[in-house]
Structure formats: structure tokens, C-alpha cells
Structure 1
Amino acid sequence: MATGLVIGGGPAGLMAAEAMASAGVSVIVAEAKPSVGRKLLMAGKSGLNLTKDEAAGDFLAAFEEAAPVLAPMLAAFGPAEARAWAEGLGQEVFTGSTGRVFPKVMKASPLLRAWMARLDGLGVTVRTRWRWTGWRDGAAVFATPEGEQVVAADVTVLAMGGASWARLGSDGGWAGQFDTAPFLAANVGIAVNWSERMAEQFGAPVKAVALSAGGRMSRGECVITARGLEGAGVYAISRALRDGAPLTVDLMPDLTVERLREKLGRRRRGDSLSSHLRRAVRLDPAKRSLLMEFGRPLPEDLAPLMKALPVRYAGVLPMDQAISTAGGLRFAGLDAQLMLRDRPGVFAAGEMLDWEAPTGGYLLTACLATGLWAGRAAAGYAFSESTARL
């Protein structure tokens, strides 16, 4: 029987293991942490956004320069397939108003349990606390609680993640052994040196705003934290923010400057500015605080400022606080099947690859899609090599 090794027990690695085992390969999954799927479970704390229900072209466009490489993989496993996969594991899903798809239970643990049961039924062996340290005579070497372990497999799929959330297993420690593009924080918040008066707003959501930076615009919400601004609205434009592009926030995106100016002109005698903003345009405390933080000294005509409030920030937050990373294995070093050109029989998948995309279902779907692609290719390679040896 052909043998396969998967290094990394995240979504990409588990999908690769399933693809290989379904094809008849005897598979071992080696995971450095005490359990698999830790980042998946973390994502489940915010509902587990599985995918985005949108047209194939729009979905693919989210991957920007990596789109041409990922196109066949996402065509084979895109939003529709991600839904069907989750439903096949007994998880009902629903589509929210923004097109994001979630399990109805809004958590990852039932899906992961069902998935692990399926893999167990396929004969997949999971080894935890096995940290890959490199190669020796073509075999993979691991540091384990029982001492060094060496695994020689017909094919190997690398799925060791990017370089964010090190405590969950993605620490990028593998990068030194390959030709990689430098890791960069993606889907990350920005650091803000707040004045003392902002402390009372820490944890407050800033809803229904439009953020713009470097020609990118995001309509959504963010959260004021002690570190800065975080949340989906910021993450969507974090690529431009990472490059230092100026950031502006439209506090009232549903009103034109003229309409906002008209509303602001109806100030009651004796109203403080804070009361006036609350009464005239329903500006909540979080938005009022941002206006005072970044808009002072306030001009007489507030409307243009409220439509493009300049936000002073001190770069993006550290990479380990990012949802994901850009950088990783360069596609130039991989063939169309995601096999390393300089190491036949070794494939790669997931966030190890040099691509990035915004949150909203794109990340998880692409990890699953590349895992499936690499797993199927690895199985095909294993059997073709076995046939060649006969």
C-alpha cells in the first residue's frame, strides 16, 4: 500500500489527509501541538465563517495576484463545495446578509469532531506533539515526547500554516528550510496611541462606517481596543494599512456631505456639541469619541470632516496578532500540482503558500481547496510511482 505523510493538522492538512486516504493511501498526520484543528476551533469562537456565497469571479478576485494560480483549485472546491462538505459532516449552514456562510450552531467543535471521526474511519493515524525538524536521507524527522521519530513515506504534504497565532501552531518556524517570500501580517488591526480620554471606549464597537486607505474601501465595523482599531472593517483594508497608506473613516456613509451639513445645521439653542451630534445625526459615543480624538481642533463645518476623518495610526499590530499572513512558499518553486520542484513527492498546501485574502470565508475555503488539490495530487503521484516500480 502507498504511504503518505501530512505535516500539520489544520484544515489544509486534514483535507489533504482525507483526499489521500479516500484514494487508498495509508496516511499519518503529524501535528506539533497536543491536538489538531486548534486554529479552526479559534475561528469557531466568532461563528466559523466557512465561505462566501458569491459569484465565482468575485470570489476568485479576492485573492488578487495569487488568483491565476489558485483558480483551478477554487474551481474544484469553491463556496458551493465548502457548503456541501460541511453539510456532509452533519452541519447545517446558513448564509448571512453579507453572503458569509456559517454553521447553524455557530461553532467549529461539532464539525471538527465529525471530521476526525470520518478520518478515523478512513484509517488515518494522527500523531500529536510531533514537531517536524527537517529531512534525513529523504525521510521526515520529528522531535516527539518519546524522542526522535523518522518517517519515510511515498508522498508528503506540508501544511504547517503561516506565521500568525504561534500559540495555535502557526509560528513559521519551518520557513528557514525553504525558499520563501517574507511573512507579512494580513487581516490585522492597527496600532493607535490613544489619548487618556479614549480609555472608556475600549471594547466599544464602531458600527456602520466606511474605512478607506490606499484606494481600498471597506464598509463594515471595527472595535476600539487598548491596542488600536481591530475587526473586519479594518482587516479588509489591512494590506494598504500595512504599507502605511493614510486612513480615513466616513462616520456617516449613508449621508452625502450636503445632507449631513443640512442635518448638522439644525442645532438647538443651548445644546452642547455632543448632544447636538447625538440628536441631529444619532452619532453614538464611540463615533463621537473618534471625532474628538482625531478631528480637533474641530472646524465650523463638520460635515466634510465626518465624511473623511483622518485616523492617525502607528502601523499595524504585530504579526502574531494577525488573523493570517502573506508570504510563504513561492509558487515559482511549486508545480501546478503544488509539488515542490526541488523535492519530488513533497507537496504543500494552506497558509504555507504565498497568498493572502481578506476574512469573510476566503481564507478557510482556500485552505481546504489547496489541501484537497495537494492531497489528490499526492495520491496520484504515489500510485504512479508504485506502478513505475513494478
Structure 2
Amino acid sequence: MAAEAWVIGAGPAGLMAAGELARAGYAVHIAEAMPSPARKLLMAGKSGLNITKDEPSAALLAQYGGAADWLAPILAGFGPQEVKAWAEALGQPVYTGSSGRVFPLVHKASPLLRAWLAELEGLGVQMHRRWRWTGFAGADLCFETPEGAVQVTPAPVVLALGGASWSRLGSDGSWAAILEREGVELAPFAPSNAGLLIGWSAFMEKHFGAALKGLRLSAGDIALRGEAVISARGLEGGGLYPLTPALRAGAVLRLDLFPDLTEAALAARLAKTAGGSAANRLRKAGLDAAKQALVMEVARPLPAEPAALAALLKHLPVPHQGPRPLDEAISTAGGVTRAAVDDGLQLRARPGVFVAGEMLDWEAPTGGYLLTACLATGRHAGRAAAGGKAPL
């Protein structure tokens, strides 16, 4: 009779770990607290499922900040090329866009997830829905289930419970208290890939929902080309997300509203508008209504001298109150520290228990990086948990 292994959490990391354990000969059970698996993956796929970023390993690793060193061997085993091959093996052809982002041809998550779940079912993996993990009782795992309290004694276990954002989809971070009681070292949760809180005046209301395009955004030592959207509570959008670590630490957000012009060239353009009203000068310089409003909101009174105004528009400081709250972020930083696990992602404080995905303390911007690392750490933990058992 095959030994049992349990995976707690049916997101991408958990499903990947389950497949590795099943192929190694274990009778695998997945416990999922929600009524259906991979809800966050399905939500992400509504706007086009970006499964990875096809770029050289150095560029890829740079997106993982301080976690790059320890994630490097894990991503080397399952990086962008492997993610693409995995999706296509599930019957989901992919294509690479001009930015290097990789998408399924159908652009949706549901066909990929259905194929993945069918593969796992074919490997004998059993899914237990509405099973919420409540902790340990000695060697046992404890669950609240529709049938009441249940305890099981598996070996091994892979925890893949997600971070602490989007709790309505299942990632509520409640596991942190359980692991803390077991002596597992944790880094505090913090929002990642989050919008920015700004207390606008009533002057900005008519611009809520307007896009700010063609920007160069910077905070701390991070700078990039991108876009943002003015919202009732501040700014949001993909251009901000890579800046979240710096903004979270209190760095000033600066916007270059003319990234294709030098300061000197912009000053020369502004000199031709000298003497007009501030709003008229901004319009004639080439700013649309949303950008004009932003400048007037955060930088009045504007300098009259062209060189000074050009410097301001090339380095516009935007005061803010930090990222949106944790549960409103796309992902989270913090969680189980690297020091708390061995090279196989096994908890040092709890041998036989492995951790994968967003439970671990790493972060990365959107654009395929999050999903790639979840898949890679799930595969790595699953293989390590299998302990070298021969495939079926």
C-alpha cells in the first residue's frame, strides 16, 4: 500500500507539489479550505493569464530582490522554458508577447486549471474541499471539515497556503499563528504589488479613472517606464507594482512626465510658453488633462522659470501614505523565512513538513514572476518531500 502524503492548499504551488509526490508513488491528498481550488489563479486569469516571463536568468532573478540568491537554484530547475513546456504538455499552447510575457493562447486560466486537475486525478490525487487546517496535534494534522473535526497522520506534508492578501479567495495568512506556535521563524507580512494611498483634494475627483501613460516612475533605486491610473484613493496599476518595496519603506514616488525629452529640451519647449497661465503652459508643453491635474495637485505654485519647471516635470514628487492595505494587495512579502527551512524547503522546527509558494518570504512584481516562483517552489518542495522515492 502506498504511503500517504498530504498537501495543504490547492493553489499553483500546492498542485505542483501534489503532482511531484504522486509521480514518486505516494497516495496524495490535497486539503483545500475553499469550495474549489486555485481561486486566486482564476481571478488573475480574468485579465489574461501571464504564466511566466521569457527572459535571461539574470534578468529574471533580479526581480526577486533579496531572495534571488536562494531562489536561483529552484528557478534554475523550473524557469520560464520549463513553465512553457509544462503548460503545453497540458494541452495549452502558449505565445510570447513583445514584452517577453508568456500567455496561453486562450488567455484564460480555466482551461489550464481543468487540464491540470484532470492530470492530477489521473495520478490518483484526491481533493478534499472545505477542509480547513487548524494546526498540529503531535504528529497529526488537524482539520475542520463539513463532517466535523478530522485528524490524519501523514508523512510527508507540503504546506502551500498562500500569503495574506485577497482573503476572500482563501489566502488569509491564518497559518502564521500556527507555525509561530511551532517555533518557525516568520517575517511580518507586508503588501506587495499594491496601489498607492494618496489623499486627493476635491479638485481631482473628475479625473478618477484616468490613465497616466508614458511615464517613467521611480522610488529609491528602482526606476522603470510604465503607466498608472488615478483612483479615488490614490494611484494604482502595473507601473507602480515593482516600486512597492521602496514605497513601503517610505521612499518618495517621482514621475518623469516627459521621459523622451532631456531637461534641456523640455526647458526650451517651456520657454516658448513663458508668460501664460500655469495650466496653459502645461497644456502647450504636451500634458493631457489628467497629467495637468496631477501637477497642479501636488506641485502648486509652479515655478515660472523654464529650467526650474522642466526639472520639476522630469522629477515630479508625489506625496503618499504608503501602499494599500495588505488584503487589497495582489501579493505579500513576509512569511516563512529562508533561515526557517533547509535547502529542500523543509521546516527546521518541524521535520517532515515542507513549505512552498507565497508562504515563503519572497516577493516579485507581476508579469509572470509570481506564478513562476510559486510553480518552481511547489515542484522543489514536492520533490524534496518525496525523499527520492522512485517514480511509479
Q: TM-score range by the shorter chain?
A: over 0.9
Structure 1: how far apart are the matches of 2:48 and 2:327?
21
Q: 2:311 aligns with which of 287, 294, 304?
A: 304
Query: Residue 215 of structure 2 corresponds to which residue in structure 1?
Result: 209
Query: Residue 357 of structure 2 corresponds to which residue in structure 1?
Result: 350
Structure 2: how far apart are the matches of 1:44 and 1:291?
35
Query: Residue 92 of structure 1 corresponds to which residue in structure 2?
Result: 93
Query: Residue 35 of structure 2 corresponds to which residue in structure 1?
Result: 34
CA distance 1:306–1:152, shift in 2 (3 Å): same
Structure 1 residues 151-166: aligned runs within 5 Å: 151-166=152-167
Structure 2: how far apart are the matches of 1:264 and 1:91?
52
CA contact (8 A) 1:101 1:361 kept: yes
Q: Deviations over 1:261-307 (max 9, x none)?
A: 222233399x76545544442x2222111111112111113211110
Q: Tell me the amino acid that sits aligned with residue 372 of structure 1.
A: R
Query: Residue 193 of structure 2 corresponds to which residue in structure 1?
Result: 187
CA drift of 1:68 comes to: 1.7
CA contact (8 A) 2:278 2:302 kept: no
- Give yes or no for the alignment of 1:380 onto 2:387: yes
- Give yes or no for the alignment of 1:285 onto 2:292: no
Query: Residue 148 of structure 2 corresponds to which residue in structure 1?
Result: 147
Q: Tell me the amino acid that sits aligned with residue 339 of structure 1.
A: Q
Query: Residue 200 of structure 1 corresponds to which residue in structure 2?
Result: 206
- Give yes or no for the alignment of 1:128 onto 2:135: no
CA contact (8 A) 1:266 1:280 kept: no
CA drift of 1:17 comes to: 0.5
Structure 1 residues 9-28: aligned runs within 5 Å: 9-28=10-29
Structure 1: how far apart are the matches of 2:67 and 2:316?
33
Q: Deviations over 1:42-90 (max 9, x none)?
A: 1112212111111111111221221121111100000111111111222
Query: Residue 234 of structure 1 corresponds to which residue in structure 2?
Result: 240
Q: 1:222 aligns with which of 224, 228, 233?
A: 228
CA contact (8 A) 1:218 1:234 kept: no
- Give yes or no for the alignment of 1:73 onto 2:80: no
- Give yes or no for the alignment of 1:322 onto 2:318: no
CA contact (8 A) 1:248 1:308 kept: yes
Q: Tell me the amino acid that sits aligned with residue 261 of structure 2.
A: L
Structure 2: how far apart are the matches of 1:207 and 1:53?
25
CA contact (8 A) 1:140 1:152 kept: yes
CA drift of 1:359 comes to: 1.5
CA contact (8 A) 2:134 2:178 kept: no
Q: Tell me the amino acid that sits aligned with residue 321 of structure 2.
A: A
CA drift of 1:187 comes to: 1.2
Structure 1 counterpart SS, 2:218:
strand
Q: Tell me the amino acid that sits aligned with residue 376 of structure 1.
A: R
Structure 2: how far apart are the matches of 1:285 and 1:99?
32
CA distance 1:380–1:225, shift in 2 (3 Å): same
Q: Deviations over 1:331-362 (max 9, x none)?
A: 11211111111222111100000111121211
Q: Tell me the amino acid that sits aligned with residue 343 of structure 1.
A: R
- Percent identity over the alignment is 59
Unmatched tracts of structure 1, length 5 or more: 385-390
Structure 2: how far apart are the matches of 1:111 and 1:289?
43
- Give yes or no for the alignment of 1:175 onto 2:183: no
The answer to which of 208-217 and 157-166 deviates more is 208-217
CA drift of 1:252 comes to: 1.0
CA contact (8 A) 2:11 2:37 kept: yes
Taking structure 1 as the reference length, the TM-score comes to 0.94
Structure 1: how far apart are the matches of 2:106 and 2:274?
48
